[in-house]
Structure 1
């Protein structure tokens, strides 16, 4: 039986005219014709180009989801990675043939014909590229209703903000589930009665203070805090789920147990010192640096040592005057948009050294755009007294 009026003999003649031999080709010849419904489904079918990793994920029946608000560009998410999605155009014709056969090189036998239907032709397709997870909206959502403790939650009439489950956040935040889990931890979020919330700052410090007070009252070494005993005692004061998760954020398990078989934990020195510094910095516009360092060291538990390196992305030190000063300047308060971020930074300070500006832009960096590349693109470098500084590209 012929296809579109062709016979195997016709095909053999074409092969000969093309100066090919049949041994170079598989024995199945596929002929193309436009289907009766050609073009009717063009708007219903979208072509997408994927890399091997994404293709393997799709073949393994893993969940692949498109996420994006009307105001934001779409991203494609697997369980582990996020991909930027962009529409691309091509001058070539992308012919969609649903029943096209992909023959095997081992195929043998006499030449045969197979008719295939062209359903549509496309000149646009979706191009996907790995990108950083777009988690900047997460903190905005979590800040709508911070957790203030059980009593405050029951009596606070101002708690009108939304609370979000993991499913809610996956629908709103443009990232994979694995990346969202990490972002929740980086945001120091707590899973409380089915919802993800951050602790209101004063309440968070209150919970951590309970832990530190218990350690001091029991004269426990800072690296030998019995987990179960501490959690049991503190759960009388605050919800157990809050205490347990607070332990995970501010303490680290050791490989030791006490005589009662209770696992021993150690304080995370840098996080405790940073939290104590934030309490002080939020209470005043600016501190004399030496006075602040003295007060800060006195505010932390005995045995911990404070250091300015613990305040990266939290405070700015001003050494331009006769007296050094320090002020509260958290990276979390800066714009997520990269151009707006640099504009805000250079409005705050005309020139920055690399170590000063790095903590305020490294969350915007990626594998292909490290901090140095961002500075090259959005800032202008100059050298003063052997030190390289960065300023706005159009600064005088």
Structure 2
């Protein structure tokens, strides 16, 4: 058996606790190995690179091109030595490691972005903004978001789509939701009046009509088309995502009935308005389940009429304990199918969602119907 002399590096005191061991999940091992096969050097501009994000007030996360991982320190039962092979017969010890860093898939932390963009909504009064140069210190850009927001690039782009956030000359601007609904109605009007097929609509013709007849900037309309459909490889045709358009129009009506409203909207009256807004061509796509996670349904009055109020999951806290607290302040008992849509944005998968339900809820089975009530106390 070979023998080595052990030496402590003169830098070992200065470098104490500076080395960290990171345990990679199998999918990241494959990513690293494939990158090393392509190049002997690491290119930080390569979207395959691993990036750690977080300011001093945040728990750090690690991001790949399309996924976010939480980083958790786990103590080791045995100390590991970080050593450098100094010579054929000597090993230099640089540091001692008493913990490793574990990675676990995590929900991207988007709430910070929403807060940064509050009050920056874009509506019809801003239609000239993309044509003028502005020197506004309050601008928050896509470039800044890629650096600051704890999400992968793919998750950030998906967030911009879901939150309806425009990119205007690199600046991020949430579109006013009433204005978005107005534009969607105009799109349907143009499709019908100009006999344009919604499955293969000429983009240039549609955006020109929206700009010339209704003053909608092509920069804005093209992004909306991308949110609510797919663009052909030659960027010439748009295929409408009918379900997404129908859903957004339904949400537009639902937002008129927040919980603070004098009274909710009757379920049947709401469905009738929704069908009228989407038109005869798409009326068969109108289904209340499209809006799951955005409303509360109640029975009220002597005739037990079903009514709806706007209650979006996106407005609830992202911290799980606070999320469940708000849900149970709203209702003391939740049916399984009613609650789960309000958890999809705080759990990476169904397994993690079930863990949250087990931690914060108590299941009650009444005549074969399972409901959730709050546990006596939350363990944050």
TM-score when normalising by structure 1: 0.78
What does 1:171-210 correspond to in 2, within 5 Å?
A: 171-210=147-186
Q: Is the contact made by 2:67 and 2:151 (CA closer than 8 Å) also made in structure 1?
A: yes
Superposed displacement of residue 74, structure 1:
1.0
Query: Any idea what SS the aligned residue of 1:69 has?
Result: coil
What does 1:272-311 correspond to in 2, within 5 Å?
A: 272-284=245-257, 285=261, 286-305=264-283, 306-311=286-291
Check if 1:134 corresponds to 2:109. Answer: yes
Tell me which of 2, 25, 34 is aligned to 2:8: 34
Task: Report the number of matched residues.
Answer: 349
Superposed displacement of residue 360, structure 1:
0.5
Tell me which of 353, 363, 372 is aligned to 2:354: 372
Q: Is the contact made by 1:145 and 1:197 (CA closer than 8 Å) also made in structure 2?
A: yes
- The alpha-carbon distance between structure 1 residues 144 and 124, as it changes in their structure 2 partners (threshold 3 A), is farther
Q: Is the contact made by 2:17 and 2:97 (CA closer than 8 Å) also made in structure 1?
A: no
- The alpha-carbon distance between structure 1 residues 98 and 53, as it changes in their structure 2 partners (threshold 3 A), is farther
Alpha-carbon distance between aligned partners in 1 of 2:311 and 2:299, rounded to the nearest angstrom: 15
Alpha-carbon distance between aligned partners in 1 of 2:254 and 2:106, rounded to the nearest angstrom: 35
Extract unaligned runs of 5+ from structure 1.
1-24, 102-112, 256-260
Superposed displacement of residue 333, structure 1:
0.8
Superposed displacement of residue 53, structure 1:
4.5
Matched with 2:313 is 331
Matched with 1:67 is 53
Q: Is the contact made by 2:361 and 2:374 (CA closer than 8 Å) also made in structure 1?
A: yes
Query: Any idea what SS the aligned residue of 2:282 has?
Result: coil
Q: Is the contact made by 1:226 and 1:262 (CA closer than 8 Å) also made in structure 2?
A: no
Spell out, residue by residue over 1:59-94, the C-alpha distance to the aligned partner (whole angstroms, 9 max, x if none): 632533221133321112233332222233224222
Matched with 1:145 is 120
Spell out, residue by residue over 1:328-371, the C-alpha distance to the aligned partner (whole angstroms, 9 max, x if none): 11111111111111111111122221211111012222247343
Query: Any idea what SS the aligned residue of 1:304 has?
Result: helix
Q: Is the contact made by 1:88 and 1:124 (CA closer than 8 Å) also made in structure 2?
A: yes
Alpha-carbon distance between aligned partners in 2 of 1:369 and 1:100, rounded to the nearest angstrom: 47
Matched with 2:22 is 48
Check if 1:83 corresponds to 2:69. Answer: yes
Tell me which of 196, 206, 231 is aligned to 2:207: 231
Superposed displacement of residue 311, structure 1:
1.2
Check if 1:391 corresponds to 2:364. Answer: no
Q: Is the contact made by 1:144 and 1:163 (CA closer than 8 Å) also made in structure 2?
A: no
Query: Any idea what SS the aligned residue of 1:242 has?
Result: helix
Q: Is the contact made by 2:15 and 2:94 (CA closer than 8 Å) also made in structure 1?
A: yes
Query: Any idea what SS the aligned residue of 2:189 has?
Result: helix
- The alpha-carbon distance between structure 1 residues 100 and 136, as it changes in their structure 2 partners (threshold 3 A), is farther
Spell out, residue by residue over 1:216-268, the C-alpha distance to the aligned partner (whole angstroms, 9 max, x if none): 3224454453332112222332211111111122244589xxxxx99654443
- The alpha-carbon distance between structure 1 residues 311 and 49, as it changes in their structure 2 partners (threshold 3 A), is closer
Tell me which of 329, 348, 352 is aligned to 2:334: 352
TM-score when normalising by structure 2: 0.80
Q: Is the contact made by 1:224 and 1:265 (CA closer than 8 Å) also made in structure 2?
A: yes
- The alpha-carbon distance between structure 1 residues 215 and 100, as it changes in their structure 2 partners (threshold 3 A), is same
- The alpha-carbon distance between structure 1 residues 245 and 325, as it changes in their structure 2 partners (threshold 3 A), is same
Query: Any idea what SS the aligned residue of 1:71 has?
Result: coil
Q: Is the contact made by 1:253 and 1:263 (CA closer than 8 Å) also made in structure 2?
A: yes
Query: Any idea what SS the aligned residue of 2:78 has?
Result: strand
Query: Any idea what SS the aligned residue of 1:146 has?
Result: coil
Please provide the CA RMSD for this pair.
3.1
* Higher mean C-alpha deviation, range 37-46 or range 200-209: 37-46
